[in-house]
């Protein structure tokens, strides 16, 4: 059984599109989900240290126990946890990826889910 990991919003509308996308993207059977409201904002701001560490502990559990092959961070349209504009949220995704790269030694990708619940991978360099 092959796994990847997603740090996703808790919003029910994005779960299945993101899981379907990641199963194809990384050729995995299962996607371990760590969910919070607006996780791209939480990781980008790094204001709530305990919550950031809680997210990272759960990601590490997925990596250590399921040998996850990659990690994705998600932002989406109409997010209750991160009501910022699309452009601002793409900035949060970028900052979240840069933060995760310092802590996780796996490929990390950023995903945007649009108003039609389509999943778009956002390049970060």
To the nearest whole angstrom, how small is the minimum distance from the Cβ of residue 38 to Zn ion? Answer: 5
Tokens 């990272």 belong to 56
Nearer to Zn ion, 9 or 72 (CB): 9
To the nearest whole angstrom, how small is the minimum distance from the Cβ of residue 7 to Zn ion? Answer: 12
Where on the chain is the footprint of Zn ion (CB under 5 A)? 9, 11, 79, 81
**What number of CA atoms fall less than 13 Å from residue 38's CA on the CB side?**
18
Closest CA to 13 of 124, 119, 94, 121: 119
Contact 41, 95 (CB under 8 A): no
Nearer to Zn ion, 11 or 63 (CB): 11
To the nearest whole angstrom, how small is the minimum distance from the Cβ of residue 14 to Zn ion? Answer: 7
């Amino acid at each position: 059984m092959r796994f990847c990991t997603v740090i996703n919003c808790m919003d029910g509308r994005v779960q299945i599109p993101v899981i379907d996308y990641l199963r194809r993207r990384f050729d995995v059977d299962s996607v371990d989900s760590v969910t919070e409201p607006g996780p791209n904002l939480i990781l980008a701001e790094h204001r709530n240290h305990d919550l950031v560490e809680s997210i990272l502990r759960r990601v590490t559990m997925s990596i250590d126990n399921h040998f996850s092959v990659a990690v994705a961070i998600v932002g989406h349209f109409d997010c209750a946890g991160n009501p910022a504009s699309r452009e601002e949220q793409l900035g949060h995704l970028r900052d979240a990826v840069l933060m995760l790269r310092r802590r996780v030694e796996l490929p990390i990708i950023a995903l945007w889910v649009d108003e039609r619940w389509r999943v778009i991978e956002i390049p970060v360099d």
